[in-house]
Structure 1
Amino acid sequence: MKTILSFLILICGSVSATFAQDQPTGAWQSKSGDTIRSMIVTPGYFTIAIYTPGQFISTYGGTWQADTPDDVKFNIEFNATDKSQVGKTLNLSADFSTTSMVLYEPDGARTWERTDYGDGVMPGYWQITGREQNGKMNNMPARARKTVKILSGKRFQWIAMNTETGEFFGSGGGTYSFENGQYTENIEFFSRDNSRVGASLSFNGSLNGNEWDHSGKSSKGDPIHEIWTRTY
């Protein structure tokens, strides 16, 4: 049975995060013609990416908190196409079930289908906290300009942003796998370079609790060694 819930949504008309006793954490997808909307929900964060095959359109996301099923607070941290939306919150009702949901947006209802349940060892909100330079790992303290990576059980999205100014610097995402110490990303959208769509990037990776050691080569082919920390 579906339950009427309270949602928070960006005013531009695309959906945000959800809340229910059956947890909405994981990945969701909605399609309209060639347009794909991909949503990742962690216990405290969500992202929405909008794209067509080979063409990035937009992305936005932020934090969410549910005091009760009818009182969900959602703060937008980034918006690729309209930084004036950063910090705004709105309410939106929806019908939600374990595998699908219908969101009643200002321009009509939109149906989403679940693509994973956010299981595995990697799901969460990750922020880069260390980067190796000249053979030394340098700490990167928390600040308004940051790079984060949001993972569900099968999907990922990274975002570079400034939460104080509302600036958006770039994003990419798609599916990923993490097996036998190797983390592999399969790119489905990339705001900075659409020609990267379809590429796969593999990295060495190890987890120690909420610390992720990540090394290999960037999308440009430059060597990288980074530490990412999961906060929720």
Structure 2
Amino acid sequence: MKIKITLLVTFILSVSAVLLLSSFSEIKIDTKDIIGAWGYGSPENRTVMINTDKVFSVATYDLRGKKFISSHGGTWRIEGNKLIKNVEWNSKDSLQVGKEIVEDLQMTNGMLTVKQTNEIWSRLDDGKPGALMGAWIITGNYTNDKVSKRANPFYPRRTMKVLSGKYFHWIAYNVATKTFMNAGGGTYTTANGKYSETIEFFTKTSESVGKSLTFDYSFVDGDWRHKGEKSTGGPMDECWSKRETLEK
């Protein structure tokens, strides 16, 4: 009798375990689950991914050696547990531009795993606390407090900033020729009308890496006015518009 009871208990536990595992495998990942910044790797090979609700940007760099390694990104969406990415730029391989890449994701204890590459990403932020979360396109410049908008800021040449709650990337690329031009990024904060960033990588000059810069920021008719001194020297007074407004 004891043997029968033991076998029955073992059977019930086995079935319960299978059902539990099946229920976990059926859990769907929502868009909001991966919005924000994610990272993996060592300081010598650091990778940071920023996800807004539609745009993603990935940068790999040697923080200590002040060396840029690569950048790629574009738009993304979630379908079930699949991350579907449409590549708009790729500094290593322009042939990837325009392609759709599908990756299987798994969320476990706040970690994001990409099954195809075995990459395990740790969350860096959830889109907060910075006030500039989103994808922004440079659309003009201010002169004497008056903005002059560019005729074609979105196509074919595009300069974009992608920000989470604590991290930022900027990228310049050509949509038509699939050419990657420049990139930079690091961490940022916003407080009392001041936008402060610390540069972790910069393709134009490694001398800018490690610098902390503070700018004035404000919102004018939905645009972001970005005013201060460039990391390479000289004044700047730029107008950035939300990408979503240019895609309408």
Q: TM-score, normalised by structure 1?
A: 0.85
Q: Distance in 2 between matches of 1:5 and 1:90?
A: 22
The 5-angstrom pairing of residues 98-137 of structure 1 reads 99-105=110-116, 108-120=117-129, 121-132=131-142, 137=147
User: 1:59 aligned to 2:71?
Assistant: yes
| Matching residue within 133, 138, 144 for 2:148 | 138
The equivalent residue for 1:16 is: none
Q: Which runs of 5+ in 1 are unaligned?
A: 7-18
Bigger RCO (CA 8 Å, 6+ sep): 1
User: 1:93 aligned to 2:98?
Assistant: no
User: 1:191 aligned to 2:203?
Assistant: yes
Higher strand share: 1
- Structure 1 residues 63 and 5: alpha-carbon distance in aligned structure 2, compared to 1, 3 A threshold: farther
- Structure 1 residues 3 and 41: alpha-carbon distance in aligned structure 2, compared to 1, 3 A threshold: farther
Higher helix share: 2
- Structure 1 residues 155 and 3: alpha-carbon distance in aligned structure 2, compared to 1, 3 A threshold: farther
- Aligned residue pairs, count: 217
> 72-81 vs 129-138, which deviates more?
129-138
2:100 match: secondary structure: coil
- Contact 2:83 2:104 survives alignment (8 Å): no
User: 1:80 aligned to 2:94?
Assistant: no
Deviation at 1:2, TM superposition (A): 6.1
- Contact 2:81 2:105 survives alignment (8 Å): no
Q: Which runs of 5+ in 2 are unaligned?
A: 1-22
- Contact 1:172 1:190 survives alignment (8 Å): yes
> 137-146 vs 173-182, which deviates more?
137-146
The equivalent residue for 1:40 is: 50
Structure 1: which 4+ aligned runs deviate by more than 4 Å?
Answer: 1-6, 133-136
- Contact 1:5 1:94 survives alignment (8 Å): no
- Structure 1 residues 228 and 24: alpha-carbon distance in aligned structure 2, compared to 1, 3 A threshold: same
The equivalent residue for 2:80 is: 69
- Structure 1 residues 200 and 192: alpha-carbon distance in aligned structure 2, compared to 1, 3 A threshold: same
Q: Distance in 1 between matches of 2:91 and 2:46?
A: 16
Counterpart AA for 1:112: W
Q: TM-score, normalised by structure 2?
A: 0.80
Deviation at 1:209, TM superposition (A): 6.4
Q: Highest Rg: 1 or 2?
A: 2
- Contact 1:4 1:95 survives alignment (8 Å): no
- Contact 1:5 1:20 survives alignment (8 Å): no
Taking only aligned residues, the RMSD between alpha carbons, in angstroms, comes to 2.4
Deviation at 1:182, TM superposition (A): 0.8
